[in-house]
Amino acid sequence: MLTVVFVASNRAEAELIGNVLKGEGIPVVLRPVGVPQMGDYAEVEVMVAESEADEAREVLDAYACQ
C-alpha cells in the first residue's frame, strides 16, 4: 500500500522531492491531483510504500533543514 509523504505544488517540485528520496534508495510514485487541465502546474502527491514512509519523512525533514 502506498502512503502520501509530501504534496508538491507542481510537477517540478514533485520530481525534485522524488529524486531526493530515490537518492536514498526509497522508490517513489508521483500522482497528480486536482484539475487535469492544469498539467505540470497541478499539485502532485509524492507517494512511497507504507513500510518506507517513516524513513521518507525523516529524509524530507533533513532535506528541509538544509
Contact 17, 62 (CB under 8 A): no
Mean pLDDT of the chain: 94
Q: Is the pTM of this model over 0.85?
A: yes
pLDDT at 51 over 80: yes
Three cell numbers written together for 18? 522524488
pLDDT at res. 38? 81
| Superfamily, domain 2-64 | Hypothetical protein rpa1041 (3.30.70.1530)
pLDDT at res. 41? 82
CB atoms within 10 A of CB 53: 17
Backbone φ and ψ of 30, nearest 5°? -105, 130
pLDDT at 30 over 80: yes
Cα–Cα distance between 14 and 42 in angstroms, integer?
10
pLDDT tens, position by position, 7-24: 999 999 999 999 999 999
